[in-house]
């Protein structure tokens, strides 16, 4: 089933989402961690298509951020300084505190999409209006999710969820051709 068709299946749950929050390790990264040096600490790799999709949502007016137990300099550089996400709650595996801070920004739980892949993500997955995870997450985690991606974490899984979200909300990137005219991406969407 293509992502556009999947989007129609989740339209009701996704239509009221206003904020999107993502775990980092295993979701925005493949979950591999290595010690780089004393300055950078533990580091990770992330997929550029996920980063672009996060920026696309922020340009469309949605609040986007990360909630992660990791807080290395590399994580700070990528998600705070480079992507300039709306929020980044880092360094605490008890993510309930961060989720409450997201709600304190003026959102209801049913207006939050959360994507996580580990046991300590389950309280947020249960509370969120839409919950997603990756295929490597344990069955005990997947049962609390509305959607399990086809792509693995760090390999475009976040982009997959965001594309489904974009189709529901009619969000397309603004890309101009060589004549300065916007390219119509919606013409390729099924009717």
Please state the separation of Cα 33 from the chain's center in Å.
19
Torsion 64-127-96-74 (CA) sign:
negative
Q: For residues 155 and 61, what is the distance between their CA atoms, to the nearest angstrom?
A: 25
Which pLDDT belongs to residue 77?
86
Query: 28: buried, middle or exposed (CB in 10 Å: 19+, 13-18, 0-12)?
Result: buried
SS3 41: strand
- As averages over each run of 10 residues, the pLDDT of the chain (191 residues) reads 91 97 94 80 84 96 95 85 94 95 96 97 98 98 98 96 97 95 90 74
177 and 13 Cβ atoms separated by less than 8 Å: no
Q: For residues 13 and 147, what is the distance between their CA atoms, to the nearest angstrom?
A: 11
**Within 13 A of 135's CA, how many CA atoms are on the CB side?**
8
Closest CA to 95 of 84, 105, 103, 83: 103
**Within 13 A of 27's CA, how many CA atoms are on the CB side?**
24
Which pLDDT belongs to residue 71?
80
32 and 47 Cβ atoms separated by less than 8 Å: no
| Cα radius of gyration (the chain) | 16
129 and 19 Cβ atoms separated by less than 8 Å: no
Which pLDDT belongs to residue 12?
96
């Amino acid at each position: 089933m293509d992502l556009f068709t999947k989007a129609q299946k989740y339209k009701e749950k996704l239509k009221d989402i206003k904020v999107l929050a993502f775990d980092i390790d295993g979701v925005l990264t493949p979950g591999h961690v290595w010690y780089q040096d004393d300055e950078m600490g533990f580091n990770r790799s992330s997929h550029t298509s996920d980063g672009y999709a996060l920026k696309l949502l922020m340009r469309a007016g949605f609040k986007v951020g990360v909630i992660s137990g990791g807080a290395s300099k590399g994580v700070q550089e990528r998600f705070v300084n480079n992507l300039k996400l709306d929020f980044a709650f880092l360094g605490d595996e008890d993510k309930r505190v961060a989720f409450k801070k997201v709600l304190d920004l003026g959102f209801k739980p049913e207006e939050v999409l959360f994507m996580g892949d580990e046991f300590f993500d389950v309280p947020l997955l249960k509370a969120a209006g839409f919950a997603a995870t990756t295929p490597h997450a344990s069955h005990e985690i997947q049962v609390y999710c509305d959607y399990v991606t086809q792509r693995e974490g760090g390999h475009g899984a976040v982009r997959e969820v965001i594309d489904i979200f974009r189709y529901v909300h009619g969000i397309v990137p603004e890309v101009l051709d060589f004549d300065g005219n916007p390219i119509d991406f919606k013409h390729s969407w099924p009717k």
